[in-house]
Structure 1
């Protein structure tokens, strides 16, 4: 799994074609999708099907069952894995490879593994570029996909020889990304939800939280490296229902409790966070409270009364005259606790689920 994860990081902004080629030869993928068992004697179509359906083209998008059968034949023979060293290289075993003629995308030859990858990107460039652009757009911009935008992004992807960095740059600098309609539209998975919070709150000792986040996600049916099926977790709105909403809110509170139980002195980080969100010298509790709200909630709160309710929480039990006289500011002894109370309150709001 280390090698698999390292490959994800290596190619996150690299060449997608190279990524597809190398991913199919990782021990994790060979074992997970059974290509380790795919030989000319006993063909296994599992990885061939997912290579087309999930990883490059999309469901029923430019291929048929005959293509799957022949892709499986072409990518056979990669069966040499040292079970005592799964991070090692995978060996190609020539006698296990189907060396016969195969027709893939109407092209016939004695195709092998590398040929399949070349055929995919040579014969189905539009389908691949638009399928991947759609996937990325729905995850980084808006689940409601603009097909016109997908065609433009697909062209950018093809024009840059399937390099992911130019595609991501075009996507994250387009008007759609900055449009108000795209702000706060994505409901992240539980792991992303908690990691995003940890980054937003600015915890300095994050490493010790990762185990707690992993346990929390596993209880939420998102165990790392163990998705519900080969397509991964469904995502977006399916992450939240009446039961899971409360669990996600409690998870935030548990993460904070765990962190401050181990790092009581780190409560001061909340004072630093609040100061970073406002102009120097600002001591209006309303402005400070609103700045914290807008930091954690991309669309803020819906009504003025919602901000007023949050302000009551932020002010805690400090007498009102302290605020009116200007005695109170973020250097006040209990200011970090006030920020903590407010974050606890926000974590229980539906708006906190959106990113």
Structure 2
């Protein structure tokens, strides 16, 4: 696969090939608000800005609700988890991008490639309009190179810290000059703004362009190791350097994400993982909503997630949301317990109203080491709440 992609890039057909690839997972139905034409706030007359801001904020919430609808529909499957993972890897924020249609377009792109080929994925994400706006790629001009985009490509998307130099960042920034958007906010290569002079990047010299930079880092085994290590931490948690090295070597051969996930889940380390990682807010709330049959509106769930620190489509910075124990601040823990208690009360009441046994069977698999499954003869809602607010329920 990698050789095919390299050849298509060399003959200028990679972009067309990317568009023709099948979608790996279906994204949610686009919200109705995307049918309107969105412009940047500076293009709105002063007197119309309050109404525009209100519409923008509402559309922002609609996007989040649509994503939550999709996660609830497929019960936060492995693919949905990987969509969430890649949103936290290729970070961007609607509060900076300010264009809901571009954020949704990016979400669909991530959904398309979440379990696909990382080489293809990286090339596509590097040309994503929302990403180019978020990381100031559109401001990267021949006479005034902007290093933000190049730096994050190297540090956060591919190689990781310590595997490139400051000079590599400067040279990569020059190579990415001219990557911009047209009036329709589609990716274009602006030749007039591209620095076509010779560059030296990681032992490669010549008239390098942005695609050349991406290919060079993809051909560096450190990229495969960086991604493998990050995915291992997500799925397993406990470091295992030798196993990660082994898996990274396999991943480097074809960059197939689904194959790597399968390989990780086939290891003894995964099967015997300590299950001591703290669930992110999404991992905590979405499966609980599904298992309890809760019909709580997704728009309200989005607000709960924001309150817990995981504001969808709006991570706090380029490094994404917190991870593991960082989720358990004293404030967040109180919020978590209160939200789970409300889910438990509603679930227990529904069981009573439907004359069903007050059982924990539906919830037990959400616990890393579930207590004995049992039915409660009395005080059903209170017992379900006690189950959901057990400390082990916070772990995965």
Counterpart of 2:335 in structure 1 is 247
Cα distance, 1:26–1:112 mapped onto 2, change above 3 Å: same
- Give yes or no for contact 1:27–1:81 (8 Å, CA) kept in 2: no
Counterpart of 2:387 in structure 1 is 346
Among 221, 226, 233, the residue aligned to 2:309: 221
- Cα distance in 1 for partners of 2:352, 2:298 equals 17
Write out per-residue CA displacement over residues 167-206 of structure 1, whole angstroms, 9 at most, x where no aligned residue: 1110111111111xx1422212212211122233355x5x
1:115 CA drift (Å): 0.8
1:252 CA drift (Å): 2.0
Counterpart of 1:320 in structure 2 is none
Write out per-residue CA displacement over residues 266-285 of structure 1, whole angstroms, 9 at most, x where no aligned residue: 964x94xx7xxxxxxxxxx9
**Equivalent residues in 2 for 1:260-271, closer than 5 Å:** 268=354, 271=356
**Equivalent residues in 2 for 1:1-355, closer than 5 Å:** 1-61=103-163, 63-82=164-183, 85-86=184-185, 89-122=186-219, 124=220, 126-142=221-237, 144-159=238-253, 161-179=254-272, 182-203=273-294, 209-255=297-343, 268=354, 271=356, 291=361, 294-301=364-371, 314-316=376-378, 338=380, 340-355=381-396
Counterpart of 1:330 in structure 2 is none
What is the alpha-carbon root mean square deviation over aligned residues?
2.6
Larger radius of gyration: 1
1:30 CA drift (Å): 0.4
- Cα distance in 2 for partners of 1:252, 1:135 equals 29
Counterpart of 1:282 in structure 2 is none
- Cα distance in 1 for partners of 2:394, 2:330 equals 13
- Cα distance in 1 for partners of 2:284, 2:167 equals 41
TM-score relative to the length of structure 2: 0.68
TM-score relative to the length of structure 1: 0.76
Count of residues paired in the alignment: 294
1:294 CA drift (Å): 3.4
- Cα distance in 2 for partners of 1:95, 1:293 equals 59
- Cα distance in 1 for partners of 2:345, 2:133 equals 39
- Give yes or no for contact 2:345–2:385 (8 Å, CA) kept in 1: no
Which segment is superposed worse, 33-42 or 72-81?
Answer: 72-81
Higher relative contact order (CA 8 A, sep 6+): 2
- Give yes or no for contact 1:70–1:103 (8 Å, CA) kept in 2: yes
- Give yes or no for contact 2:341–2:389 (8 Å, CA) kept in 1: no
- Give yes or no for contact 1:17–1:121 (8 Å, CA) kept in 2: yes
- Give yes or no for contact 1:183–1:299 (8 Å, CA) kept in 2: no
- Give yes or no for contact 2:309–2:332 (8 Å, CA) kept in 1: no
1:211 CA drift (Å): 1.2
Which segment is superposed worse, 236-245 or 192-201?
Answer: 192-201
- Cα distance in 2 for partners of 1:114, 1:100 equals 15
Question: What secondary structure is seen at the aligned counterpart in 2 of 1:17?
Answer: helix
- Cα distance in 1 for partners of 2:293, 2:247 equals 33
Cα distance, 1:222–1:314 mapped onto 2, change above 3 Å: same
1:241 CA drift (Å): 2.6
- Cα distance in 2 for partners of 1:8, 1:258 equals 34
- Cα distance in 1 for partners of 2:112, 2:314 equals 21
- Give yes or no for contact 1:191–1:222 (8 Å, CA) kept in 2: yes
1:243 CA drift (Å): 2.7
